[in-house]
Each structure stands twice: as C-alpha cells, then as structure tokens.
Amino acid sequence: MTQIHPSAIVHATAEIGHDVTIGPFCVIEENTKVGDGCQINSFASIKKGTTLGANNKVHEHAVIGGPPQHLRAGVELGEVIIGTGNVFREFVTVHRGLAPGKNTVIGDNNLLMVQAHVGHDTIIGSNTIITNNVMLGGHVVIEDRAYVSGAVAVHQFCRVGRNAMVGGQAHVVQDVAPFVTVDGCSSLVVGLNTIGLKRSGYSPEQLSELKRAYRIIFRSNLTNREALERVRREFPQSPALHFATFLADSERGFIQGRSRGRGVDVSRPQLRVLSDEKDNAADSNRRAG
C-alpha cells in the first residue's frame, strides 16, 4: 500500500505506483511518474519531466530532474528516464536533457553515492557504481558495470567503457577504454580492471584474450587503425572485440597508458584515435622521425 506523509507535496497529476513510500517534506512535481515499490525519503525532490521505474530508492535531499546548468537551457527541456532498482544517496543531483527529445537516461541497479552529480544528456548503463562527489558533465556516457571512484570529474562528451575502473580524483578529459583501470593520481591507464572483471564473471580464457587485446592497443607500436583492425581480426567472438567497437567511435581520443612495458620503444607516442586525415599525417611524421 502506498504511503505518503502528510507533509509531502505531491502534484495532482503525478503518477504514483503501488507500494510507494514518500517521506516527510518531499516534493513530487507535475509530469512525473514514480514506479511501484519506490522509496522517496524525506526532503527529496522529484521534479517535472522525471520517470522513475520500479523499486528505486531516493535518499534524503536528493534532487532528481533539475534543469540543466547550461546558458542555453530554455523552458522546453528533455526528460530524466530512470530504470529499476537504482539507489540515489543523499544530495545526489540528476539534470534533465537540454532540449526536447534529448534525455538523461539511467539504466538499472546503479548505485549513486552521496553528492554525485549527473549532468544533462548523460547516459548511464546498468550495474554501475558512481561514488561520492563524482561530477559527470553534460553528454557523458557511462557503460555497464563501470566503477567511478570518489571526486572524479568527467569532462562533457567523454565516455567510460564497460567494466572500467576510474581511480579517485582522476581528471577524465578523454574516453576511458572498456575493461581498464585509470589511476587516480596520474589519470592514466595502468592495466586491466582484473578484479572487477573476475567479479563480473569473466572466464580465465576471456581474461587472457582481454590481456592480449590490451597489449595490442596500449603496448604495441601499431597505428590506431592497425591496432583496432588487428583486435577485430583476432577476437571476432570475444568480449575483447568491444575494445575496437568502443574506441573506433571515440571523438575526443582516449586516455593513454602510463607504462609501455619492457621491450617497447617508449619514445614513440601512445595510441589515440584520430581522424583519417590526422592519422595519416601522424603516421607519416612517425615514419619520417
């Protein structure tokens, strides 16, 4: 049975599901949907344009569906669409899309810890952990099972690949490849997220394939085009193929590795995604050098 505290303000047009609990001094605005089994704790706000799926928990003082922090934000905005089983801890903020039809989307079973911020038009997959004080700029993408540690700042339009682990206080200004670990102090890739991959059920054979693909991408002297093509050719049925799928779509380039390893020419630049024109020019310069 749905329970709404007498001090809560729930707009008459809000759609409230079954077995929902809305605590003291909550505000549920118009044009909102709160799914079955949701728990909205005291002083939380669900603002207009927000859809919550079933069994979400919104803790004290969280604000879901606030307007974008953008000078071009007008009256007509996108929405916030949230799946099922998510937890939004105290003071989390999630902002709407910047324009109609452009939404902020959060999948299922995510944990957003205290004071995490999700900027406008951001897309978060499922089973992620976004820890305390993380700042996700506008148009960020966080893929499934990524882990973003405390006080990480992710620049707008950057992406974090699936099963990646971003260390605390890292400055993410380019894409984070899937399956890797980014060191918080240097903000550079330092290897595979082996522990996270094992916890996610990757087999020893799959881990071996991911390690081989990682070395091709981060520790070889191949150009980006050659490295990604080699990954496609050698791992057509492996999770490692997602390295190539993800990185081929990179617009900002991706974070490089801190160490090239033994036997590798460290004087040569790390791999990063470039346009064809820039890539050809870079290849010519490297060969000339």
| Catalytic residue numbers, as ranges | 120-121, 138
Sign, CA dihedral 115-119-121-124, equals negative
Q: How far apart are CA 283 and CA 165, in angstroms?
A: 31
Q: Please report the DSSP string for 218-271 in residue order.
A: HSS---HHHHHHHHHHH-TTSTTHHHHHHHHT-SS-BPPBS---TTS-TTSPPP
Alpha carbon 162 to its chain's center? 8
Cα separation, 158 vs 179, in Å, equals 16
Tokens of 157: 């339009």
Using alpha carbons, list the distances in angstroms from residue 55 to 16, 34, 36, 183, 209: 12, 9, 6, 34, 37
Distance from C-alpha of 118 to C-alpha of 106, rounded to nearest angstrom = 10
| Sheet arrangement for strand 50-52 | 15-16, 33-34, 50-52, 80-82, 104-106, 123-124, 141-142, 159-160
Q: What is the distance of C-alpha 153 from the center of its chain? A: 11
124, 74 Cβ separation under 8 angstroms? no
In the chain the first and final C-alpha atoms are separated, in Å, by 73
